[in-house]
Structure 1
């Protein structure tokens, strides 16, 4: 039904450009040039992508940023901003600045040696200048104001917060509030740079990611309740902050929507067979318990059919799971940005 509705609207006129910031859910290859373990530009990553090529996407195929631009018929996938010979069409229709492993907390990107959210803003400033050189200042200004800014970060912050035992030093409520403050400040920073249409992707049920179940779910590898509660509470408070920002009209002319992927991903985890999956507690790559990044490599024995798995590696969903997630949230998000 949603796909039929998508075909009935000319989304490319309403949202002609997609710009993506954040972590691996949006990263399409920006980490490839980094001296970091947080890379995916090698097999078996990308085995179901176009040309069966590992591009740096943490998936067997496309990631959410690709699916969003494909849905609104801008293009088939999003090029990474780093290490790509971008064409005028690439600049006009959108790129990804995202970096797998990053977070709103600068300690996260420093720990994992990836591109910080602050650095992504600096990259965006350079992008604006390049765009203006190609199409002129007036058109570039129009592109910037009409673009959809999709921001997805926070998971890595939460993972490291619990993993490094930061929870013993700073209570979850306080850290959640800090992350929300950082999230909203990021929107305000993009607003100052010309952005007006913002979609913020909320946290998934972090405690149900295969690696988290392995690390803290006990011998039965159950979903880790405390980490899920953190994510759920964060999403609830973030939505309230977004609503308050709208009410105060602090960012006049802007539209902000929360894309809450928590319910649908939890549904896939708890009722996989309902959606055609056979496995939702471990990934397709290797044992599926801990493999991610360099641990998911050419020596890993992967499942025969990734579409039967909710997760590709121990952190990231498969392309099929991403498709279901996007199909569940896209209609409401597009309506909010284009109404």
Structure 2
């Protein structure tokens, strides 16, 4: 089984490399902001219930070690970093096992459970987006001390910045708690979030970032945890949530186009995984999946974080047959497919 799995991932990575040839120094570092879709372990170092630094998380990662990634293995920034010839994994900034020498070629500031909205990060006491930016500023200072001003400025300017965030704003905040939904209509809230996204990217630009990829939302109403709330109706996707994700993506794409015109030298690409993810959910067999409704970990309907532990007797033996690892997060195989799509369709201009 392990041999088959290794061959499958090697095949997926071969497709990535074929679609996006390995570059030679054009992207010296990969710098990551966002939520659990891209968090490589920062939540391990803060006081929150939203952690994944225990088995079976990471069981298919290098050495079978849990790292704080919300998956059985690697997440999209890891695959993207490898495809650009940087390194196979992007370390978490708060991980004491790494130093500025490691971070100089790539670093992750993301925090699982966070959102654009500060109120979202408060729900599970995680790192808000503004704090991710503060950590990045600190990183720049450390980088200049380590590399010198000129070399550090080059890394900052030529690095690829990946931003993936927004799901929690809707599922753990707007549609779950009354405060924001009483203040804003769904359309107004999307505009509110898009405005925060614009300001965040403008700050990154002001700090020297030029190559930025902003990732939109997948069909969030089809996550197993959301389907479980409709279990008496056959575990159908929640159309209202999917519509919000789709509409929000339109706003982000429009905002990205405007910013490219307004900021000299900015190369901001909007990566929209909605269509690809819909295709995977509607035609799983075409991608080698057997299960799209439930996840691999536990019963697959509600388990996430501490509910998904090594003592749960229901966890599947082969995660590659599942689109989702836990009730909220994709498997490593899904992450590899999404990364390959983004590399081919959105990041090719950075080669």
- TM-score category by the smaller chain? over 0.9
The answer to whether the aligner puts 1:27 opposite 2:27 as a matched pair is no
**Residue by residue, what CA displacement relative to the aligned partner does 1:26-85 show, whole Å, maximum 9, x if unpaired?**
110000022211100011100100110011000000011111101111111011100234
Secondary structure at the counterpart of residue 300 of structure 2: coil
**In the TM superposition, what is the alpha-carbon distance from 1:216 to its structure 2 partner?**
4.5
The answer to whether the aligner puts 1:303 opposite 2:316 as a matched pair is yes
Instruction: Output the CA distance in 2 between the equivalents of 1:117 and 1:217.
Output: 34
**Any gaps of 5 or more consecutive residues in structure 1?**
none
Which residue number corresponds to residue 314 of structure 1?
327
Match of 2:202 among 160, 168, 188: 188
Answer whether contact 1:256 1:337 (CA < 8 A) is retained.
no
Instruction: Output the CA distance in 1 between the equivalents of 2:27 and 2:140.
Output: 17
**In the TM superposition, what is the alpha-carbon distance from 1:170 to its structure 2 partner?**
2.1
Alignment RMSD (CA, Å): 1.4
Instruction: Output the CA distance in 1 between the equivalents of 2:74 and 2:24.
Output: 20
Secondary structure at the counterpart of residue 163 of structure 1: coil
Over 3 Å counting, the alpha-carbon distance change for 1:104 and 1:206 in structure 2 is same
**Any gaps of 5 or more consecutive residues in structure 2?**
1-14
Equivalent residues in 2 for 1:275-294, closer than 5 Å: 275-294=287-306
Equivalent residues in 2 for 1:152-171, closer than 5 Å: 152-159=164-171, 160-165=173-178, 166-171=180-185
**Residue by residue, what CA displacement relative to the aligned partner does 1:189-221 show, whole Å, maximum 9, x if unpaired?**
111111111100101110001001112565311
The answer to whether the aligner puts 1:331 opposite 2:344 as a matched pair is yes
- Tell me which moved more, 316-325 or 329-338: 329-338
Which residue number corresponds to residue 242 of structure 1?
256
Match of 1:108 among 100, 105, 120: 120
Secondary structure at the counterpart of residue 13 of structure 1: coil
Over 3 Å counting, the alpha-carbon distance change for 1:106 and 1:188 in structure 2 is same
**In the TM superposition, what is the alpha-carbon distance from 1:88 to its structure 2 partner?**
4.8
Over 3 Å counting, the alpha-carbon distance change for 1:222 and 1:173 in structure 2 is same
Answer whether contact 2:212 2:268 (CA < 8 A) is retained.
yes
Number of residue pairs matched? 334
Instruction: Output the CA distance in 1 between the equivalents of 2:296 and 2:74.
Output: 15
Q: TM-score, normalised by structure 1?
A: 0.95
